[in-house]
Amino acid sequence: MDTVVRNEDKLPDIILLLVTLILVTVGTAMIYSSSSIIALEKFKDGQYFLKKQIFFVFAGITSMIIMTRVPYTQLRKWAYPGMLLSFVLLSLLLIPHLGMRRGGATRWLNLFGFSFQVTEMVKITIVVFLAHLLTRKAHQLKDFGKGVLVPLIATSIAILLILLEPDFGTAVIIATILLLMLFIAGAQIKHLSLLVAAFIPAGVALIFYKGYRLTRLTAFLDPWKDADNTGFQIIQSLLSFGSGGTFGVGIGDGMQKLFYLPEPHTDFILSIIAEESGFIGVTIVIVMFAVFAFRGFMIALKAPDLFGTLLAAGLTMVIVMEAFINIAGVMGLIPLKGLVLPFLSYGGTAFIMTMTAVGILLNISTQT
């Protein structure tokens, strides 16, 4: 009884919380800096995106606080309903007028006058589902048919529906999360190797199947070959990094956001940070994500049960992988994938679901 009381009274991981709040604060300031000109041009209000983001911040922090107070073990009873709901919502995206097409992909669902990005919710529900299912099947994971096949099939259905949007980046993240959680749960290396051997050629085939994915790859390899078209985004992003130097040109004084760099307040917000705060600012952001990853995996390592370990590791990996893909993409290290930078980019669904994940991590940290 004494142990239970101490666990309930234990403070959440303060370092993880501080890193999150610092990133959110920096993101809110940079969203205003990067979007004011665009907002003034489109909506005649330079604070349009800032006002909306402040609302998202309050909603996200509220969700984080709620999840901090709800025992993470209670999420297990929502594992199967959440996965079923994910399948339904992903299927609804394929229905005309319900699924909203933006940027060449149908990722937004319009229901009852509200629109939200389905895959942001799906990433969280899949982690909860896998954590619950793999905990139940932990003693069977040495057997591929009894332990690995069911989570593989369920996750593959979600990946297939996501690829139909199409959203290749999120599909890659979910496939990676599946492999990570199987490894932590105790699946055999030979089974994981077989899955990797199957996923890699499937991914390559998907790249060549869709022409725009191959175009992104060629633009990554030589963006200056088609500087005015396919290579335009990455070239403008690299110009932002080059213009910033060590200390940047000053917050608010960047030039690339003046209709040169597309989506400066979403996908390319790190490019604006690089231009306005320089190498120092980008380094601080990367260090913050590295600290977040370390604390998240430490929470997973110290969790009191396998479900908590899998849940914390999966949620940490979702956030860290998105950050890595975005950062590496805008720096020209990998092809651009169209993923936002967690905590920093403008957005409603993505931000709220990320803060929800942080709330779950904080709750697990109180039970270590």
- Copy the structure tokens of residue 195: 């899955």
Each residue's pLDDT expressed in tens, for the chain with a length of 368 residues: 333 334 456 889 999 999 999 999 999 999 999 999 999 999 999 999 999 999 999 999 999 999 999 999 999 999 999 999 999 999 999 888 888 887 677 888 987 777 889 999 999 999 999 999 999 999 999 999 999 999 999 999 999 999 998 888 899 999 999 999 999 999 999 999 999 999 999 888 887 777 677 777 878 888 888 888 888 889 999 999 999 999 999 998 888 888 788 889 999 999 999 999 999 999 999 999 999 999 999 999 999 999 999 999 999 999 999 999 999 999 999 988 878 999 999 989 999 999 999 999 999 999 97
The percent of residues above 90 in pLDDT, for the chain, comes to 74
- 68/155 Cα distance (integer angstroms): 27
Q: Report how many domains make up the chain.
A: 1
- 356/298 Cα distance (integer angstroms): 19
pLDDT at 211: 66
Domain that holds residue 275: 2-365
- Copy the structure tokens of residue 219: 């633009």
Greatest extent of the chain over all pairs of C-alpha atoms, in Å: 68
- Copy the structure tokens of residue 344: 């920093």
pLDDT at 2: 37
pLDDT at 106: 83
Q: Is the peptide bond before 81 cis (omega within 30 degrees of 0)?
A: no
β-sheet with 99-102: strand ranges across: 99-102, 105-111, 114-117
| Residue 331 burial (CB count, 10 A) | 17
pLDDT at 363: 97
Q: How many CA atoms lie within 13 A of 334 on its CB side?
A: 13
Which DSSP helix (H) or strand (E) runs through 51?
helix 48-69
